[in-house]
Structure 1
Amino acid sequence: MASLLLPTLTTKREIDTIIRDTLDKVVVLRFGRASDASCLQLDDILSKTSRDVSRFATVGLVDVDSEEVKVYVEYFDITLMPAIVFFFNAHHMKMDSGTADHTKWIGSFHSKQDFIDVVEAIFRGAMKGKLIVTCPLPPERIPRFQLLFKDV
């Protein structure tokens, strides 16, 4: 039910618009499925914290099964879900969390505070002009996945 409180983006145009038109705020896009248990857990955290981060972030949900958003799913190589991609002033923000992939956050957060800390770190780094920031969370609270890259 938490996903009902957040905007769900189903078309490429909606995603492009939120990325392009959101100024001086971090755009948090959760890619996943509303029926997936781990996505529901993350949606709960996102909906409970969206008000707390509303001064410096905008949260949106993207359904990966929608035909029109396949271009984003392929571009960001979203195979594990949920995955969160961050933007700031139409620039893709990356985060070094000690994993092989800096382009997105894969998995859920352990707590609401973890999510707030990550978004705040991205916002602070973006305000300083950085395109990649260091994850503020300790390594034991960062989800680990074995990533396999195609054609590498």
Structure 2
Amino acid sequence: MSYALPNLSSKREVDSIIRDTLDRVLVLRFGRCSDPICLQLDDILAKSSRDISKFGVVALVDMDAEEVQVYVKYFDITLIPSTVFFFNAHHMKMDSGTADHTKWIGSFHYKQDFIDVVEAIFRGAMKGKLIVSCPLPPERIPRFQLLFKDL
């Protein structure tokens, strides 16, 4: 389904969409089109894009593209898919009860969950907030245990 969403593979494209998306939430999905979880998320994003069109825009970022590595490093994207939110070129954060408020890691369970998250970010941004609380119940928020081993 990702054919319905813009695919970004250069820093210039990412910079441009962040700068030019005004008064709507920009949703950037970092991942790989070959990853099954990314494909599941892309399907939800594509099916939701019309529903959120008044207050949100979705774009896919190919995290393997050489030119976008500056963003991959900046947002510390190690698990995919990772979804980052912006409003009027400001990075929007969301407290979902996890250690990382800078991005959503994993897919959404339902289309409505994604719509609710984007709407919550939009409402918070309109009130001048840079961090909002996740509107989803804890059981629908993906949890990841990060295991560290000797390198």
Task: Please say if 1:61 is aligned against 2:60.
Answer: yes
Q: Could you state the TM-score of these two structures normalised by the residue count of structure 2?
A: 0.96
Residues 5-52 of structure 1 deviation map (CA, whole Å, 9 limit, x = unaligned): 100001001000000111100000000000000000000000000000
Q: What's the TM-score once normalised by structure 1's chain length? A: 0.96
Map of 2:12 onto structure 1: 13
**Aligned residues between the structures:** 148
Instruction: Give the fraction of aligned pairs with identical amino acids, expressed as a percent.
Output: 80
Query: Match for 1:134: what amino acid?
Result: S
Matched, 1:97 2:75: no
Q: Match of 2:34?
A: 35
Residue 147 of structure 1: how far off its partner (Å): 3.5
Corresponding residue number in structure 1 for 2:70 = 71
Matched letter for residue 35 of structure 2: D
Question: Distance in 2 between the 1:52 and 1:130 partners?
Answer: 23
Q: Which residue of 1 aligns with 2:85?
A: 86
Q: Measure how far apart 1:146 and its partner are.
A: 1.6
Flag as ranges the 4+ runs of structure 1 deviating above 4 A. none
- Residues 100 and 147 in structure 1, CA contact (< 8 A), matched pair in contact too: no
Q: Give the superposition deviation at 1:148.
A: 6.0
How far residue 145 of structure 1 moved from its aligned partner, in angstroms, is 0.4
Change in 2 beyond 3 A, CA 1:5/1:112:
same
What are structure 1's unaligned runs of at least 5 residues?
none
Q: Which residue of 1 aligns with 2:142?
A: 143
